Amino acid sequence: MANREIIGIDCGATKVIAQSATYDSKTGLVSPGEFHHEINYSDHPNWNAKFVPVHLDIQRQEYFERNIDLTEPEMDQGDVIVETIKAVISEIEGFLVQKNISISTSPHFNSPLLQGSKKRIVRNIGLCFPGIKNDCGVLIMANGPRIPNLLERIPEIDTLYNDSDCCVLGEWKSTIGKMQNCNNSVYIGGGTGIADGIILKSELIDFNKRNDVKRSWELEMPSEETIESCLSPKGMIHQYNLSQKEKVETLDQLSKNKNADIIFEKAVKAFSFLIQNRTQFFKANHAKIEKIVIGQRLGIFMANSKLISLPDSNTDIPWDYSTDRRTAALGVAWKRICS
């Protein structure tokens, strides 16, 4: 396979990041390319900063009954997300036209901006998205609106990849990743939620196909709180703001407040609980964790703070922090070209 260039789009809960990548057929890795573009959903005039997702129990029930009943706030918020993705794709098209890049097109690509011009042929574009998905869209979303018809509304995209998987692949299969050459490793990415990833015996674990491992939003501690609600930056900030008059918006702001000690203590317990759970999973599968990588906003915060750290009982496991926000988009690019 010849060296190729791909565009990966990472859709999170707060922004969309697009990153070009070059695939090296000799190493099997992708490297960051020239193009990088980010758009925050909050830049859209109709973005609802106070949007509250439908309760997960209701989402699950409607999912299993195959009767998803979108609320009006969900539809409005979904419209903003779709329009933001389209804006990013427009930027990608403009970049490729400017660079006069002519490459093989996806059979599903039918952007009106590119029709009728032989020079305007867009290489494969991949997109990852959080939540539980099918071949059409997003059916369960813990931190945002469900968009069951997402692919129908964005014809430039023909497949939705899991954001957590792409976070791991970006760490594992890119030249800037922290998990290169790992056979057994754990990824914990913290932002609006927790992006869980496990590489077991050189294979990326599919949480949807296994019953012996759960995601952080499914794992409950003895307090009946989920790992995600206690360890994700959004979860910590939310817990603090519920009990305090003076609100905070970032972990850095939270760390400067003495009243937040209990929040960070709970996060440490959640971290310990998660690592114990993952250690048991590896042990049950006759393997041992070689490395733990903590990424996204949680990784950046932990790299510069001692308020959350690996428990003493697990210090024999090597760990590293990933602070590069491009990794998920690079994971999308690798998956697009290699799957």
Q: What is the pLDDT of residues 285-302, one digit of tens each?
A: 999 999 999 999 999 999
* pLDDT recorded at residue 85: 96
* pLDDT recorded at residue 74: 98
Given a contact cutoff of 8 angstroms between Cβ atoms, the answer to whether 120 and 113 are in contact is yes
Stretch among 200-214, 254-268, 304-318 having the lowest mean pLDDT? 304-318
CB neighbours of residue 280 within 10 Å:
12
Given a contact cutoff of 8 angstroms between Cβ atoms, the answer to whether 268 and 308 are in contact is yes
Given a contact cutoff of 8 angstroms between Cβ atoms, the answer to whether 193 and 144 are in contact is no
Residues 158 and 20 in one domain: yes
Residues 319 and 304 in one domain: yes
Whole-model pTM?
0.87
Average pLDDT, the chain: 88
* pLDDT recorded at residue 123: 54
Residues 188 and 41 in one domain: no
Does residue 175 lie in a domain region?
no
Residues 285 and 211 in one domain: yes
The secondary element (H helix, E strand) that includes residue 332 is: helix 327-338
Give the SS3 label for residue 30: strand
Given a contact cutoff of 8 angstroms between Cβ atoms, the answer to whether 118 and 102 are in contact is yes
Mean pLDDT of 254-260: 89
The DSSP output letter for 300 is H
Amino acid type, 152:
E
Q: What is the total count of domains within the chain? A: 2
How many angstroms from the chain centroid is the CA of residue 231?
15
Q: What Cα–Cα distance (Å) separates residue 59 from each residue in 63, 71, 205?
A: 6, 11, 24
Stretch among 13-27, 119-133, 292-306 having the lowest mean pLDDT? 119-133
* pLDDT recorded at residue 161: 94
Q: Which residue has the higher pLDDT, 123 or 8?
A: 8
Domain region containing 87: 4-166+328-338
Given a contact cutoff of 8 angstroms between Cβ atoms, the answer to whether 8 and 330 are in contact is yes
Beta pairing partners, 16: 11, 39
Rounded-to-integer distance, Cα 18 and Cα 89, Å: 8
Residues 153 and 187 in one domain: no
Sign of CA dihedral 11, 139, 144, 272: negative
Mean pLDDT of 320-325: 93
* Contacts with 84 (C-beta within 8 Å, 6 or more apart), sequence order: 16, 39, 41, 43, 44
Mean pLDDT of 264-292: 95
* pLDDT recorded at residue 311: 62
How many angstroms from the chain centroid is the CA of residue 145?
15
Residues 314 and 333 in one domain: no
40-43: Cβ within 8 A, 24+ apart: 40/14, 40/15, 41/14, 41/15, 41/16, 41/80, 41/81, 41/84, 42/14, 43/84
Residues 312 and 332 in one domain: no
Q: Is residue 196 pLDDT above 80, yes or no?
A: yes
DSSP strand pairing (203-204 vs 160-162): unpaired
Residues 28 and 140 in one domain: yes
Residues 139 and 81 in one domain: yes
Mean pLDDT of 104-120: 38
Burial grade of 189 (CB within 10 A; 0-12, 13-18, 19 or more): buried
Does residue 176 lie in a domain region?
no
Does residue 196 lie in a domain region?
yes
* Residue 102: pLDDT band with limits 50, 70, 90: very low
Does residue 283 lie in a domain region?
yes
* Residue 109: pLDDT band with limits 50, 70, 90: very low
Rounded-to-integer distance, Cα 171 and Cα 163, Å: 13
Mean pLDDT of 178-207: 94
* Residue 237: pLDDT band with limits 50, 70, 90: very high
Residues 18 and 149 in one domain: yes
For residue 266, the domain's CATH number is: 3.30.420.40
The most confident of 1-5, 72-76, 109-113, 153-157, by mean pLDDT: 72-76
pLDDT in tens, 152-177: 999 889 889 999 999 999 999 999 99
pLDDT in tens, 75-99: 999 999 999 999 999 998 888 777 6
Does residue 34 lie in a domain region?
yes
Residues 82 and 162 in one domain: yes
Counting residues of the chain whose pLDDT is more than 90, the rounded percentage is 74
> 96-127 burial, b for 16+ CB within 10 Å, e for fewer?
bbeeebeeebbeebebeebeeeeebebbbbbb
Q: Is residue 34 pLDDT above 50, yes or no?
A: yes
Mean pLDDT of 142-149: 94
Q: Is residue 194 pLDDT above 90, yes or no?
A: yes
Does residue 173 lie in a domain region?
no
Which two structure tokens, joined as six digits, stand for 184? 């057994």
Given a contact cutoff of 8 angstroms between Cβ atoms, the answer to whether 94 and 22 are in contact is no
Residues 120 and 189 in one domain: no
> Any idea of the CA torsion for 277, 281, 284, 290, to the nearest 10 degrees?
-110
Does residue 172 lie in a domain region?
no
The DSSP output letter for 287 is -
Longest dimension (CA), the chain: 62
Does residue 162 lie in a domain region?
yes
